[in-house]
């Protein structure tokens, strides 16, 4: 009987931890519940281009001689035959070419994104049938008024 009373007393004592003497929550507990931890969101995620895998080009219909923007050896934009693609947020997005695409660069857009590519140098390097130039890419999110600039390489041909 004494053991049961002792267990009951210990159980009741455990239930009351963190409360004041009247059984109410403490000011510290209320503060923790009223202020959830801040989650830092990255506003630039809407304009952060992700690498495009070479296998994705044929699957998405971007085939034939065209142009591509690469940075650190990773393709971020591919354009061929009137079709252009980028990856944002894990999804492949098709962009419309708003001007002819060629060695000097190009302009692409959809309902939310606008992408422009322009050469930053006159001298290009030849690699087989393709030619590459240093370039700048600007991706803008129309609704959020966000943009991001990247330096890389613009390659056309082959």
Residue 76 confidence (pLDDT): 95
Q: Give the pLDDT confidence of 6-58 residue by residue, as tens digits.
A: 444 445 454 545 455 566 777 777 666 666 666 555 666 777 899 998 888 88
- Greatest mean pLDDT among 37-41, 68-72, 154-158 lies in 68-72
pLDDT in tens, 85-132: 999 988 899 999 888 888 899 999 988 889 999 989 777 677 667 889
- Taking CB atoms within 8 Å and a gap of at least 24, the contacts of 137-143 are 137/49, 137/69, 137/71, 137/76, 137/77, 139/47, 139/49, 139/86, 139/113, 139/114, 139/115, 140/47, 140/113, 140/114, 140/115, 141/46, 141/47, 141/112, 141/113, 142/111, 142/112, 142/113, 142/114, 143/112
E strand or H helix at 65: none
Domain ranges of the chain: 2-34, 43-157
């Amino acid at each position: 009987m004494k053991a049961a009373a002792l267990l009951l007393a210990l159980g009741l004592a455990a239930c009351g931890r963190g409360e004041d003497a009247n059984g109410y929550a403490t000011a510290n507990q209320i503060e923790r519940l009223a202020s959830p931890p801040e989650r830092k969101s990255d506003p630039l995620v809407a304009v952060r281009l992700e690498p495009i895998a070479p296998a994705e080009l044929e699957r998405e219909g971007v085939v034939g001689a065209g142009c591509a923007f690469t940075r650190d050896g990773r393709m971020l934009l591919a354009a061929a035959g009137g079709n252009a693609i980028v990856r944002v947020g894990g999804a492949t997005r098709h962009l419309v070419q708003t001007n002819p695409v060629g060695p000097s660069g190009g302009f692409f857009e959809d309902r939310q994104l606008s992408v422009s590519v322009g050469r930053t140098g006159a001298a290009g390097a030849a690699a087989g049938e393709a030619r590459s130039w240093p370039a700048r890419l600007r991706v803008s999110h129309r609704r959020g008024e966000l943009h991001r600039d990247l330096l890389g390489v613009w390659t056309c041909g082959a």
